[in-house]
Structure 1
Amino acid sequence: MAGVRQFDESLALDKALALFWQKGYAATSMQELAEATGVQRGSLYNAYGDKETLFLRVFDVYRERFVSQMREALDKPRLRDALRSFFGCVIVSMTTSMGSGMPTRGCLSTKTAVGTEDLDGPLRTALKALLDDIEQVLFERLSREGEPSQLALPPRQAARLIVTFTRGLVVVERVYQDEKRLRAAADNLVAVLLRAA
């Protein structure tokens, strides 16, 4: 059972998030987490029990922030602007560098999904919950009064397509590292999804 934390948990979780985001879940060790957070490995084990539990706690923080950013990005009066803002937020998130000379950080959820051999149980549940949250935020925005008539697909299908598309954007970003290409692809999807005015 997790013990009493003798450290600033918020700061430690932020530092752990940065490391997991940089290296991925599978490639990150408890020793590296201890070094990155400045918390002794024994204290991390005492507080969280194991790497998976710590990751799930970190992922909760990430999920809450990311979904909040999605909601804010989609809060635009015009649907086209809302979708472009959403994709802008996603693209900035994945193309931001972890620091000088470091590669772009990509997407934590996709990196975890494709980089983890045994993606069962709590990890799969956490990843599904994030994707479901993003889909729901999109669905709510696409379902606002008058908006479904602008869509080439029903709102739920459009939301699922957008979520799937964003996972593909992550791969394209890793291969091409070209933000203009990502934005052009996102603009093309918006054009396909929205009926001509």
Structure 2
Amino acid sequence: MAGVRQFDEQRTLGRALEVFAVRGYRATSMLDLASGTGVQRGSLYHAYGGKEQIFLRVFGVYTRTFLGDAAEALRADDRRSALLAFFDHCIRSITAGTPARGCLSTRTVIDASTEVAQVETAARTFLDDLEDVVHDGLAAIEDGGLTVDLRSAARLVVTTTRGLAVMERAHHGPDELRDIAATLVTSLTGRGRPV
């Protein structure tokens, strides 16, 4: 039937996300997307446009889900627990898959954000939104102060998530990444690890 999509859109976009996560924006071609999704290039072009439009669509879904899960992880009785749960969420995300798929947003910023203005804007918006999620999550917890102001803490936490993504690519395992995160949390909260 003309005008009716002959493929499962949710499944197709999920597979497109995986292609971008594995290959990165720059290295992904429309042929890669067709192969990875099982949908012909012409059908992809017709349904979504080119690579940039497909990326922006799946990146939007990816970031909305990630931000929602991050906000949920920050809901805790104390800031130390909230930050540890947040970092655990981030580490699980970047170490998922076999091999681990890494961090799509960090890879995009490093790999391709300056090539396409809309991709650069999407990546920057995600990082700004993530900072706001961390800030708001910490602000909602009344368990004492931090060693720096809330906005600086949120910015430092987000910056550390990018560093963790790079360290994961350098073959640091989840336990090593959690140790790095725990050291930052101790520095920010002034509280050591429970004995």
Runs of 5+ unmatched residues, structure 1 = none
- Identify which of 146, 154, 172 aligns with 1:159: 154
1:146 aligns with 2:142: yes
8 Å CA contact 2:113, 2:120 repeated in 1: no
Q: Does 1:123 align with 2:119?
A: yes
Q: In 2 relative to 1, CA 26–9 (structure 1 residues): closer, same or farther, beyond 3 Å? A: same
- Closer/same/farther in 2, CA of residues 4 and 128 from structure 1, 3 Å limit: farther
Which of 76, 98, 104 does residue 108 from structure 1 map onto?
104
Cα deviation for residue 174 of structure 1 reads 0.9
1:88 paired with 2:88, answer: yes
Cα deviation code 1:123-180 (max 9, x no counterpart): 0110011111111110101112535x42111111100010011101111111133222
Q: Which residue of 1 is the match for residue 72 of structure 2?
A: 72
CA shift, 1:20, in A, is 0.5
The DSSP-based 3-state class of the residue aligned with 1:176 is: coil
Stretches of structure 2 lacking an aligned partner (at least 5 in a row): none
Give the 3 Å change call, closer, same or farther, for CA 121–166 of structure 1 in structure 2: same
Question: How many pairs were matched up?
Answer: 190
Amino acid at match of 1:143: A
Q: Distance in 1 between matches of 2:189 and 2:102?
A: 27
Among 176, 180, 183, the residue aligned to 1:185: 180
Q: Secondary structure at the match of 1:153?
A: coil
Distance apart, 1:181 and its partner CA:
1.2
CA contact (8 A) 1:4 1:47 kept: no
Q: Distance in 2 between matches of 1:196 and 1:57?
A: 41
C-alpha contact (below 8 Å) 1:67/1:134 kept by paired residues: yes
8 Å CA contact retained: 2:79, 2:141:
no
Q: Distance in 2 between matches of 1:21 and 1:55?
A: 10
Amino acid at match of 1:119: E
Normalised by the length of structure 1, the TM-score is 0.90
Change (3 A) 1:6 1:138: same
